[in-house]
Structure 1
């Protein structure tokens, strides 16, 4: 049938035309894409903050946190055993030397004292009898009624009786002291820091029951790591600041350095004595700044901690320089850290005075990258030293 053949041929022709149209469209898209290539992207200019390096005077300052403690703190206990019947102080109470803190039941001690008194009276009676017997024998010897040996025997008996009196008298004094030990007294002016026994408790001789801290001498205890303990020999100045009053600087003095590191923290306990008369409460948080003078010829360059970059196990800084076009670019320079001074680090090599170092934005840079300095004027080292000197003089 002619109509049917015509429809079939038309369908084949349309399919062939469609197959040619698809490649041509793809080719046109590719040509248009080739003509519309993006322009090369310009390098980003990173904003940074910088500082100009200058030689430090060689003073290294490090800070350690600690707390205020009493230099002397006694754990007081009764010198005799017994039952506590009275507690006269609380934690935080101020006490004076000789003030009664606790009392024991004195009944048994008083009975023992009465027994010692009775023993002394008995010894004194025996001595009086021996003395009278000795005098009688002296008269009989003068009349030659007794022998010399009998008189010497009575003299020995009198000496023995006197010795028993002396022993009984010493026993009475000792027992009287024992009775007085029923009162626990403060051995110095101070403040009660702990109560370790209560009324009704039976304690033995020497058992700590009250803790008293002297308030006349105070110190700050800090922990210094192993790497810093050797630098204590060069410490020239010790300054203490309280967390509650950061503007006040209290001069301190290193009094004691522990010879053994703490097994848990691996730090050495260092005790810094405070001058007397300071309005400092026990337990306050404090910061101790240790300033040590470096040896001659070892002056370093001071940079903020934020300027350091740790790259492939090395410590580096970004140094700003000018390229051929006059634009500011950065290069990574390895440095050697000589120590710490407050929040800054001291560099002993890798950079030179007068070079400009990036202090903010260091983790967004790459070698040769162009930068834009945010500060209008580069911070000079003289201003930094003046500010540090002003802070240390407060």
Structure 2
């Protein structure tokens, strides 16, 4: 009896050890994501605005004091509409003086005509001297030249009076006023800026490093900041050759593929730059498993619901994501959390509807 008891204890212990060895690994719930192919790389997102491709800044062609500003910023104008007027007193005085000179010269020209006709008649009857006739004809020509000069002076004075009214020469929208009523301006000084609303473009400022790397493969996606569903594509039309001294950026102007109705002048937009790249995949940073000098991810077998460690080639690593060149295929499911707690062949549970 004493010898039988130790033998029974030994058998119980051996049976317990055998049960421990056969105990299966627990099924672990994991977070996962599906691998999606990526053929475009995002180079950045920049804020900008919708502006008119054609803008013109107008000013008076004469000096004077602005008497009235007829329109406000945002107003639409048609060709010939009045934008602003100067105090016309000086121009009106110049016109009256020119008209007075013209009336005086016209009277002189009439007298010169009569004198030349009279001298010609006397000379034809043989009672007039040739010298007197020559003087009369010369005076007629001189007076005729003075008459043309006086008429030109009147025409110029009328133009100067007309120039005291600033008008639009095309359909446009008033975008800025650079002078106010009561302000004295010189000829040619900038007064108002007009933009043609028929052709619009996107305008953004790009960092110098990115601006120098722009190529034909770049795609610009332009979207409204208030409603990103309103968007279109664009191509680079113009890149300013010099950078802004303060911001160290270069202004880029983009031609829109089509212009949505919601893209009004001044609309705030968001422009995303993308470029064609070799096929790659982007995953969360938490999916990466690094051990024994290898970079791996856990790939889920959706049928067996087990995981397998697979070597991957890493292209880029950020604080939140990794970019893989190879190792995984589109449509495969990769574990994104708890990668250090898994073992090859371990069974897992996951939400198949999770993106």
- Name the residue aligned to 1:117: 99
Rate the CA distance shift 1:127–1:112 in 2: closer, same or farther, 3 A. same
Deviation of residue 46 (structure 1)?
9.7
Deviation of residue 110 (structure 1)?
0.9
Deviation of residue 94 (structure 1)?
2.6
Which of 270, 279, 286 matches 1:287? Answer: 270
Structure 2 matches for 1:366-385, cutoff 5 A?
375-376=350-351
Q: Point out where structure 2 has 5 or more consecutive residues left out of the alignment.
A: 1-24, 301-305
Kindly provide the CA deviation profile for residues 140-176 of structure 1, in whole angstroms up to 9, marking residues without a partner as x. Answer: 4434555656544443332222221111111111111
Matched, 1:159 2:141: yes
Matched, 1:319 2:297: yes
Kindly provide the CA deviation profile for residues 289-324 of structure 1, in whole angstroms up to 9, marking residues without a partner as x. Answer: 445445xxxx23131575798x9xxxx9753369xx
Kindly provide the CA deviation profile for residues 118-143 of structure 1, in whole angstroms up to 9, marking residues without a partner as x. Answer: 11112222222222232233334434
The secondary structure found in structure 1 opposite 2:191 is: strand
The secondary structure found in structure 1 opposite 2:263 is: coil
Paired with 2:321 and 2:197, the residues of 1 have a C-alpha distance of 36
Paired with 1:308 and 1:261, the residues of 2 have a C-alpha distance of 41
Structure 2 matches for 1:144-183, cutoff 5 A?
144-145=126-127, 151-183=133-165
Paired with 2:215 and 2:352, the residues of 1 have a C-alpha distance of 40
Q: Point out where structure 1 has 5 or more consecutive residues left out of the alignment.
A: 1-41, 338-342, 385-394
TM-score by length of 1: 0.64
Deviation of residue 98 (structure 1)?
1.8
Alpha-carbon contact 1:331-1:368 (below 8 Å) kept: no
Deviation of residue 248 (structure 1)?
2.4
- Name the residue aligned to 1:6: none
TM-score by length of 2: 0.70
- Name the residue aligned to 1:136: 118
Which structure has the greater CA radius of gyration?
1
- Name the residue aligned to 2:20: none
- Name the residue aligned to 1:103: 85
Deviation of residue 202 (structure 1)?
2.5
Kindly provide the CA deviation profile for residues 154-205 of structure 1, in whole angstroms up to 9, marking residues without a partner as x. Answer: 4333222222111111111111111122222233323333333333333322
The secondary structure found in structure 2 opposite 1:300 is: strand
Rate the CA distance shift 1:144–1:49 in 2: closer, same or farther, 3 A. farther
- Name the residue aligned to 2:6: none
